[in-house]
Structure formats: structure tokens, C-alpha cells
Homo-oligomer: A and B are copies of this chain.
Amino acid sequence: MTTEERVREAAVRLFAERGFHGTGIRDLAQAAGLSSATLYHYMGTKEDLLVGIMRTSLTELITAAEAIAGSTPDETDRLVSLVEMHVRAHAGKPRETAVVDGEMRALTGERRAEVVALRDRYEQIWQDAIADGVNAGKLHVAEPSVARLALLEMCSGVSRWYSPDGPLGLRDLTIQYGAMALGMLGAAR
């Protein structure tokens, strides 16, 4: 593991456990086995670290969602594939995704604008998928934007409760979420 990877892993863990504002630079340096000066040299400020974590996570989600959108013309299948991908990402990396979802409030100015733009780009793919399904007569929702927000909150929530050590396997989890998503979006059964 490189120094950068070690620092990032420590930051994800501490931000998830104690929150961004509750994590000091010294805590981060100690957890990564570095001095504060060395940490700064490698990684910049605490806010740089947070933005880096968010940029990586959101870019991975966007890449995966664009691949699905570009290769799945059937509107129902596309929605299910997006749900399965998002649930798998949030169940598999619960701390990263919880930090991305929960600490946007900690950013200000240009950094906030950059991360919000990435999040908006990701959510637009979902918005389009829902709107396409409605236009094709396959999904039935009162307002696509409300449905999108509700669906994403439902799917992101697995980062708060799912445990890979529990009785529910990841494959079964994603199948159940796909079915619930289609139901809430009024898909024909």
C-alpha cells in the first residue's frame, strides 16, 4: 500500500467514525503513521483529502452509471441495473459512500461546487432513466425528481445497515432492491 493509499484509508475510517469536523489533522497523521508535516506534504489539507475521497467515489459511480445507460436500451432493465450497481457500491464500500453522502455540508466554495456538480451529473443519469421509463409507459410516478430522490436515499441507506457478515448475501440484497425499486416506480409486474 502506498503512503497515499494509507492516508486515504485512515481518512475514510476517521471521517466515517467521527465526522469531518470531529477529525483533527493530528488524528489523521497518527492513524497513518506520519508526522503532520509529512501528511500535509503528501495530501494537502484535510479538505483536500475529503474532496479527493468524494471525487474518486463519485467518478466511479458516474463511470459505472454511464456504462449502464449506454448499453441498456430497455428502460426497466436500465433502472434495475442502476439500482444493483448503486446498492453493490454502497454495501461494498459503506464508509466511503457514507462520507460522500454525509459530509458534503463540510465543503464550501469551489470545492463544494465541484463535488455538487459531480453528484448532479450522477443523479441526472438516474433522472433520465426514470423519465425515459415514464415516457415509454413502463414506469408510473407522480414526479420523477421526487421518485429519484426517494430511490437514491433508499439505495444509499444500505451503507448504514448492511453487513457482509450477516445472513443476507450481496446478490440477494441487490435482487430485492431491484424488485422494490420497480414496485415503487410503478412498473408493470
Distance of A19 Cα from B158 Cα, bound (Å): 21
Residues in B with CB closer than 8 Å to A173 are 146
Q: How large is the interface on A (under 10, 10 to 19, 20 to 34, 35 or more residues)?
A: 35 or more
Distance of A17 Cα from B65 Cα, bound (Å): 30
A19 pairs with B22, CB closer than 8 A: yes
Residues in B with CB closer than 8 Å to A177 are 150
In the complex, the count of this chain's copies comes to: 2
CB-CB contacts below 8 Å: A101-125 with B: 102, 105
A153 within 8 A of B: yes
A76 to chain B, nearest CB (A): 14
A73 within 8 A of B: no
Distance of A158 Cα from B147 Cα, bound (Å): 11
Residues in B with CB closer than 8 Å to A160 are 153
Q: 0/1 per residue, A131-168, Cβ < 8 Å to B?
A: 00000000001110011011111101110110000001
Distance of A96 Cα from B81 Cα, bound (Å): 34
Residues in B with CB closer than 8 Å to A157 are 149-150, 152-154, 156-157
A171 within 8 A of B: no
A184 pairs with B180, CB closer than 8 A: yes
Residues in B with CB closer than 8 Å to A175 are 142
Closest partner residue, chain B, to A17 (CB atom): B105
A20 within 8 A of B: yes
A18 to chain B, nearest CB (A): 4
